[in-house]
Structure 1
Amino acid sequence: MSFTVAIIGRPNVGKSTLFNRLVGKKLALVDDTPGVTRDRREGDARIGSLKFRVIDTAGLEEAFDDSLEGRMRQQTERALEEADVALMLYDARLGVTPMDSHFADWIRKSSVPVILCANKCEGKDAHAELHDAYSLGLGDPVAVSAEHGEGMGELFDLLLPYEREQEEDIPAKDRPLQLAIVGRPNAGKSTLVNKIIGEDRLLTGPEAGVTRDAISVEWEHEGQKIKLVDTAGIRRRARVQKKLEKLSVADSLRVIKMAEVVVLVIDADVSFEKQDLTIAAHVINEGRALVVAVNKWDIVKDRNAMLQHIRDKLQVSLPQVRGVPVVTMSALTGRGLEKLIPQVLRVYELWNKRISTAQLNRWLEGMLERHPPPMVKGRRLKVRYMTQVKSRPPTFSLFMSSRGELPEAYIRYLINGLREDFDMPAVPIRISPRTGKNPYAKD
């Protein structure tokens, strides 16, 4: 399992019911009587494609001695120590109780990230009372119903980053590159996958919408393992009416979320449409690296004009990512295909790029000298230092000694500087301003 989740909370809030829901089996005893669960119980859990290890715990009690309740609490504390993230449940029907508040204070002192879950939210009345949860100081509550399986999609989105953090610890050469092939219907996605792997693995045809499910294919290129995922065509939302197509589109969007690099296939016969840009923007917003593949290039008459048109559209519509590679090719004949995978591997390397804190702060000093931060309420914002907190995509924290919101325009100035000075085209770059003491400063 890629990461570990501990379910905690006071007695009788539905922890074991949620545990059973996540593991897909009735492994834990469930009853209205408080305190049924006493030991830790572990299982292999799954939400959609997300797999993890989950630990069910006894209800938290205010007992610190050698009594049964005290020993149960110790088991819960050990589960929390093992976890990468904790789900703290409370009963949304009853609202926040003093015991919930007490244990929220306790868990905030832990270094383990916490997701607050408002359980038993199968009715509208329970949703209306969620504002009480903010008093716990654990962020936005997630409305779930462990008994009925509601809210699992929201829980998937919140747990997904922990899987990605675990994946970062695995050397890139030892894991397959997750490559999604997306685009509008009939752009040639399945034909492209078949040509890449050298066999008719996927069903193709002139009809739009032949592919309905996301189909994954394992492949290897010069020693690099690649998991290719073909997806259903994504049309404009207003045109998607049938339930089956809605499910197919939702599956395609899920594949984008799980991908590392996304190849957006464009049909050169119908030019570069607004829907292509919508898909591209979605890829970038999800933090994925992007490569544009212009298919059916062999039938284009004025190639220079077409290529310039596509690049201009990308420049205007996606200013947050400059230098997205555009590969012209024919999936049917294979012409130009030899340029696609090298571009994919190049943006994948950039997507994983890390910059040392020393390099960053030497660079930051020059950027601040050229354009100091703006004035806010008569005082100039003071930027102290910068560090990269993660890759995939490159994400940076910018620490400031004075409070005040750094304007979006100044953040864009820093992002553009990072992209140019550290050669990071085509991938999203994120900067999060923070206030706090500089740990690198000398006392």
Structure 2
Amino acid sequence: MSKPVVAIVGRPNVGKSTLFNALAGGMISIVKDTPGVTRDRIYADVSWLDREFTLVDTGGIEPESKDIILSQMREQAQIAIDTADVILFLTDVRQGLVDADSKVADMLRRSAKPVLLVVNKVDSFEKYMPDVYEFYNLGIGEPLPVSSASRLGLGDMLDEVIKYFPKGEESEEEDERPRVAIIGKPNVGKSSIINKLLGEQRVIVSDIAGTTRDAIDTDIVYNGKEYVFIDTAGLRRKSKIKEELERYSIIRAVSAVERADVVLMVIDAVEGVTEQDAKIAGIAHERGKGIIIVVNKWDAIEKNDKTMREYENEVRRVLSFMPYAEIMYVSAHTGQRLIKLYDMIDMVIANQTMRVATGVLNEIMTEAVAMQQPPSDKGKRLKLYYITQVSVKPPTFVIFVNDKELMHFSYTRYLENKIREAFGFCGTSLKFFIRERKEKGR
């Protein structure tokens, strides 16, 4: 079940980042276990009561003039409307209601998405409530007073947010169709791949500034089997600002990846693999999705007998945090190898949902331990008692040991490699949790 996406929209300096950090806690800038991925502070996982969601800060730059502020805000609002399940519209009680707020409120109101109007910097409810009521004039419902800095009112706000989430299992559970997200930098050919698979020019690829499209789900039937492709090609904006375009493509990717089983990470063969590709791929890796790296425009590359190996080495180097990902070389232009994508998607989904019997896992672990002694520290040696698989998508294992501190991540990696040697698990990450069991209780 995918997590809902909640986006924060608002003018510069109303406290978007402060709210984001207050809700996300200290989790954000540190990415555990993912060398090679720098996490921009754009999205974070938040849980409230028993609901989890992905929080996105539409952020943006601090432009000089009022006109630019408004156009920026409209773009941020559009992104939120396209990608979010719930929108937090942040305003500032000290600055009061301004013209830009009203204009953005009009857009949000027409979007038919749930919008919560949040009035920030209300450090004292007694003092500021009369000013809060002014925001009723926006006509998007009751203003919720909060102070991100003092963390006042955040609980009440979150209670409202989760009311809009789909109840439990109702939304996508019956839908057994494989869901495939196509992500990557702008202009790497994401829409072209879908068009070629569909056999028609469905996605209108135009270069008019400001044309946005929702991430459209496309159903494609191949060999009697239905697939849902989630496309993030939306933004074809002529943005002058590289950071801003990057931010938008990351926000788009987060919401698409959240809903997918398998992610096609599209790279432009001519341009080669870049740091921005690593950032976008890192989202799918962190979310434990099945991953296929699709090198598009392969027809445009001059080749000799070493080309593919050299190319693969470079892709593996830049995306070193996901050595398990499959790589395919295709051309949306000529259709080369595109049809093989379906077999690859089926295989990756099979691996994402594979369950391994506990007995077999423990045999592999016992053999691995015999071949390579577990680490020890100050005379105390790590003992591994037992391993079991607890869930799928991605396959997740729990290992019981005598002392968690001794379980170095390189030894976990060694066990992972042994399990992969036995079962493949191509295209999917594996997650491991280490639990302690005291010896005397055994």
- Which residue pairs with 1:241 in the alignment? 244
Q: Contact 1:214 / 1:252 at 8 angstroms: preserved in 2?
A: no
What is the identity, as a one-letter code, of the residue corresponding to 1:326?
I
Q: Contact 2:2 / 2:259 at 8 angstroms: preserved in 1?
A: no
Alignment of 1:37-56 (within 5 A): 48-49=84-85
- Which residue pairs with 2:16 in the alignment? none
Identity score, percent: 29
- Could you tell me how far 1:311 is from its partner in structure 2? 1.5
CA distance in 2: counterparts of 1:417 and 1:234, whole angstroms: 43
Alignment of 1:246-395 (within 5 A): 246-247=247-248, 249-302=250-303, 304-395=305-396
Query: What is the alpha-carbon root mean square deviation over aligned residues?
Result: 4.0
- Could you tell me how far 1:240 is from its partner in structure 2? 3.0
Question: Secondary structure of the residue that 2:280 maps to in structure 1?
Answer: helix
Residues 289 and 369 of structure 1: CA distance in aligned 2, closer, same or farther (over 3 Å): same
What is the identity, as a one-letter code, of the residue corresponding to 1:278?
K
Residues 364 and 319 of structure 1: CA distance in aligned 2, closer, same or farther (over 3 Å): farther
Deviations along 1:366-416, one digit per CA (max 9) or x if unpaired, are: 011111221134211211100001010111000113453411111111111
CA distance in 2: counterparts of 1:396 and 1:222, whole angstroms: 34
Are 1:198 and 2:199 matched, yes or no?
yes
- Could you tell me how far 1:264 is from its partner in structure 2? 1.3
Q: TM-score when scaled to structure 1? A: 0.59
What is the identity, as a one-letter code, of the residue corresponding to 1:144?
L
Question: Secondary structure of the residue that 1:240 maps to in structure 2?
Answer: helix
Question: Secondary structure of the residue that 1:410 maps to in structure 2?
Answer: helix
CA distance in 2: counterparts of 1:328 and 1:207, whole angstroms: 30
More contact order relative to length (CA 8 Å, sep ≥ 6): 2
Question: Secondary structure of the residue that 1:337 maps to in structure 2?
Answer: coil
What is the identity, as a one-letter code, of the residue corresponding to 1:182?
I
Partner residue of 1:122 out of 142, 146, 150: 146
Q: Contact 2:148 / 2:154 at 8 angstroms: preserved in 1?
A: no
What is the identity, as a one-letter code, of the residue corresponding to 1:389?
V
Deviations along 1:147-168, one digit per CA (max 9) or x if unpaired, are: 5x6995xx79xx99x869x95x
Residues 237 and 432 of structure 1: CA distance in aligned 2, closer, same or farther (over 3 Å): farther
Which segment drifts farther, 194-203 or 402-411?
A: 402-411
Deviations along 1:136-187, one digit per CA (max 9) or x if unpaired, are: xxxxxxx83435x6995xx79xx99x869x95xx6xxx61111011111111
Q: Contact 2:250 / 2:280 at 8 angstroms: preserved in 1?
A: no
Runs of 4+ in structure 1 off by over 6 angstroms are 206-210, 233-238
Question: Secondary structure of the residue that 2:253 maps to in structure 1?
Answer: helix
CA distance in 2: counterparts of 1:233 and 1:2, whole angstroms: 21
Q: Contact 2:198 / 2:220 at 8 angstroms: preserved in 1?
A: yes
- Which residue pairs with 1:134 in the alignment? none
- Which residue pairs with 1:424 in the alignment? 425
What is the identity, as a one-letter code, of the residue corresponding to 1:368?
V
- Which residue pairs with 1:410 in the alignment? 411
Larger Rg: 1
Question: Secondary structure of the residue that 1:262 maps to in structure 2?
Answer: strand
CA distance in 1: counterparts of 2:277 and 2:267, whole angstroms: 7
Q: What are structure 1's unaligned runs of at least 5 residues?
A: 4-17, 23-46, 51-92, 95-119, 129-142
Residues 437 and 215 of structure 1: CA distance in aligned 2, closer, same or farther (over 3 Å): farther
Q: Contact 2:215 / 2:233 at 8 angstroms: preserved in 1?
A: yes
CA distance in 1: counterparts of 2:193 and 2:151, whole angstroms: 46
Q: Contact 1:264 / 1:293 at 8 angstroms: preserved in 2?
A: yes
CA distance in 2: counterparts of 1:258 and 1:219, whole angstroms: 17
Residues 347 and 185 of structure 1: CA distance in aligned 2, closer, same or farther (over 3 Å): same
Q: TM-score when scaled to structure 2? A: 0.59
What is the identity, as a one-letter code, of the residue corresponding to 1:146?
D
Alignment of 1:162-201 (within 5 A): 167=173, 175-201=176-202
Residues 365 and 204 of structure 1: CA distance in aligned 2, closer, same or farther (over 3 Å): same
